[in-house]
Amino acid sequence: MVRDPVELRRLRWRCRRGMRELDELLMAYMETAFEASSPAQQQAFEDLLSLQDPEILSLLTERVRAEDPGLHELVQRLLGRPGAEL
């Protein structure tokens, strides 16, 4: 799905969370996999970015599991889990 360049810049800006680990992980996905992802996967990424930093961190450290299956799959992809290719 082709996105408007302005919209992509906004998403990149939203990846900047102020926590180095989150910044690096989210920006890496944005730069390498976002545009090639399905619309559902792109929406899951935007949903993830709408969360507060502690919530994102809890998901990525697997302290909590996302109830939404699409968001859970995205988290697994971000963590490089087998069967969840980027």
* Cα separation, 47 vs 65, whole angstroms: 14
Residue-level pLDDT at 56 = 96
* Cα separation, 77 vs 40, whole angstroms: 14
Residue-level pLDDT at 62 = 93
* Cα separation, 23 vs 17, whole angstroms: 6
* Cα separation, 28 vs 30, whole angstroms: 5
* Cα separation, 1 vs 68, whole angstroms: 22
- pTM recorded for the entire structure: 0.87
Residue 85 has pLDDT above 70, yes or no: no
Residue 27 has pLDDT above 80, yes or no: yes
Residue-level pLDDT at 18 = 87
CATH 3.30.70.20 corresponds to the domain 5-78: no
Residue-level pLDDT at 81 = 78
Residue-level pLDDT at 31 = 94
